[in-house]
Amino acid sequence: MSTSMAELRSSYTKQGFLSGLPVLDALELQATREAFGKLESEFGKEYTQYSLHNVHLQYSWVMALAKHPKVLEPVSAILGPDVILLDSRFICKYPVLSGTTSNGQQEKDITTFAKQSSAPNKEEGSYGKAHTGQQEKPGLPFVAWHQDMRYWGLAGGPVLSVWLALDDALKDNGALQVIPGSHCSGLLPHQLSSRAGNMLSVNQEIPEQLVKTDEAVLCPLLAGQMSVHDGLLIHGSDPNMSGRRRCGFVIRFVPTCAYPIQDPDRPRSFNATVMVCGTDKFRNFPSNTPEL
């Protein structure tokens, strides 16, 4: 393992996440965005917002993203050489400005709001404030504070999530926010969120009193970059208050030693698993490698 990979692993172990890792070059990014644009035209934005789930089994360009060497190098530096792709999903927050009236009134309102809710330090998350919904228009899509492991009936190894940006994902369009080091606190209780707009399929959230929102850190990404986070790291994201789309491709990976468990509280089927590097001596997950 190169020194830089060893450093990345060490930082990930301590903080529970890494951000700003370069993946796609300009040509790859352009091709990826064009391919995603075709899905948008075919399925419509309501669908592509959150329902393009495990389509790495259907489209070779999506599989190529999930297996991109610049994705897999840091992933295998962290998880070890034998890695399985567990699940994937596009998560898109579309601009709220698309409903702008002809006199631009809505745009003006939203711009004003975005200014009000800006944290003084651009690199720090404003998550706590905005996340309480105190200043926001209700119902805009956001992602409540949660831990991915809350949903995954898995044991025997960690889950690592990659968030690969197809668009610039910055503060104003609702980039991912994380609580550094929170992966060391174990699995926390989740409750049903009472706030409208939570994109998570089971509408769960960690109660706010359990989240150190003042320690939240924004993970701004330029299109083509990725962040990675541990399955126990507390994370979420604010609504897109900009006029720009925020599209990311989320890929979950596990080492082959992980295995599914029957936990009624975390029911989940793993029917899109694909071996992406190394060898699988455990065979805890079915191989679904498609012929694309």
Ligand X SMILES: O=C(O)CCC(=O)C(=O)O
Residues that bind ligand X (CB under 6 A): 91, 143, 148, 161, 163, 176, 235, 237, 248, 250
* Minimum distance from residue 248 beta carbon to ligand X (Å): 5
In the block, residue with structure tokens 């644009």: 37
- Give the shortest CB-81-to-ligand X separation in angstroms: 24
Nearest CB to ligand X, comparing residues 135 and 201 = 201
- Report in angstroms how near the CB of residue 2 gets to ligand X at its nearest: 26
| H or E element that contains 20 | strand 17-22
> Which residue, 6 or 192, has its beta carbon nearer to ligand X?
192
Min dist. Cβ of residue 175 to ligand X (A): 8
Nearer to ligand X, 83 or 250 (CB): 250
Compute the CA torsion angle 4, 60, 251, 3 (nearest 10 deg). -10
How many Cα atoms within 13 Å fall on the side-chain side of residue 233? 27
The answer for residues whose C-beta is within 8 angstroms of residue 189's C-beta and 6 or more apart is: 206, 207, 210
For ligand X, the closer of residues 153 and 278 by Cβ is 153
Copy the structure tokens of residue 255.
Answer: 């080492």
In the bound state, the residue with its beta carbon closest to ligand X is: 237
CB of 86 or CB of 274, closer to ligand X: 86
Write the burial class of residue 244 (CB in 10 Å: 0-12 exposed, 13-18 middle, 19+ buried): middle
161 near 252, Cβ under 8 Å? Answer: yes
Residue 85's nearest CA partner among 219, 250, 217, 213 is 250
Query: Residue 29 or residue 92: which is nearer to ligand X going by CB?
Result: 92
Nearer to ligand X among residue 105 and residue 160 (C-beta):
160
> If we measure between CA atoms, which residue out of 193, 163, 173, 164 comes closest to residue 243?
173
* Shortest Å distance, C-beta 236 to ligand X: 6
Tokens 């197809």 -> residue? 166
Provide, rounded to whole angstroms, the least separation between the CB of residue 206 and ligand X: 12
Does an H or E element contain 71, and which? helix 69-79
Residues 6+ apart with CB under 8 A from 181: 14, 15, 16
How near is the Cβ of 235 to ligand X at its closest, in Å? 6
Could you give the CA distance from residue 20 to residue 30 in angstroms, rounded to a whole number? Answer: 19
| Minimum CB–partner distance for residue 165 and ligand X (Å) | 10
- Closer by beta carbon to ligand X, 190 or else 235: 235
Any idea what the Cα angle at residue 275 is, between residues 34 and 75, rounded to 5°? 70
Q: Nearest 5°: phi and psi at 75?
A: -60, -45
